[in-house]
Amino acid sequence: NAGVTQTPKFQVLKTGQSMTLQCAQDMNHNSMYWYRQDPGMGLRLIYYSASEGTTDKGEVPNGYNVSRLNKREFSLRLESAAPSQTSVYFCASSENLSGNTIYFGEGSWLTVV
Amino acid sequence: GENVEQHPSTLSVQEGDSAVIKCTYSDSASNYFPWYKQELGKRPQLIIDIRSNVGEKKDQRIAVTLNKTAKHFSLHITETQPEDSAVYFCAARDTGRRALTFGSGTRLQVQP
């Protein structure tokens, strides 16, 4: 099992460009998440999906959109990238929302210039 | 929503000493408190968790304590080793969103 796989691992964008971060899990988990990690700020929740067909905003959703394509895949889209979105993005999944272990992907390093 | 504060932001100890990291949370209904370890350039990984019906949990050199009245929980690492050097995150489950809210992290450095 690969666990949680996200692509790309590294990306440089120009301000105003758009891109989509892809994420897939092979653990048959119901819940999936997107977090961003910035120095001194920990992991902040952008969006999450409790189950296939549902998505909800987290702490910092502005400037992002998500799609829960099916049970395995949960993508994060930046429509018009800004320098403030320079960060490390982690996709994660868990069996469900009720206190189970969250498994993280390896992270995507995004720089917006 | 939930707010989790974590202290200290950096911690340096000598090998063999103990390390303690403390977190407070705001949502009195929160009932799940995991701790994650993140090595440099790697993904965060769960090392221990505790639920609100338990006051303490141990796993070899690692222990977590929970004080629901005071709304704080702590990670204790005994007999620290250089491989314990990493960033540690506490988290609490937001009962509104039912997703985890993380603290800002503690960078632990174990000096050989």
Q: Which of A29, A55, A59 to mutate to test the interface with B (most CBs of B within 10 A)?
A: A59
Instruction: Give the model's pLDDT for residue B54.
Output: 82
Tokens of B94: 């937001």
B68 touches chain A (CB under 8 A): no
pLDDT at A26: 96
Q: CA angle, B32 as apex, B94 and A109 as ends, to 5°?
A: 65
For B3, name the nearest residue in chain A, comparing CA atoms only: A59
Contacts of A99 (CB under 8 A, 6+ apart): B31, B32, B49, B51, B93
Phi, psi of B99 (to 5 degrees): -115, 160
pLDDT per position as a tens digit, A65-109: 999 989 999 999 999 999 999 999 999 999 988 767 899 999 999
Nearest to A98 by CA among B64, B103, B73, B99: B99
Q: Is the per-residue pLDDT at B111 higher than 90?
A: yes
Distance CA A81, CA A106 (A): 22
The confidence score (pLDDT) of residue A99 equals 64
pLDDT in tens, A4-52: 999 999 999 999 999 999 999 999 999 999 999 998 788 999 999 999 9
Residues of B in contact with A101 (CB under 8 A): 34, 46, 49
| Cross-chain Cβ contact A42/B105 below 8 Å | yes
> Which of B46, B93, B97 comes nearest A58 by C-beta?
B97
pLDDT (tens digit per residue) in B55-95: 999 999 999 999 999 999 999 999 999 999 999 999 998 77
* Nearest-neighbour CA in chain B from A30: distance (Å): 13
The answer to whether B24 and B9 are in contact (CB under 8 A) is no
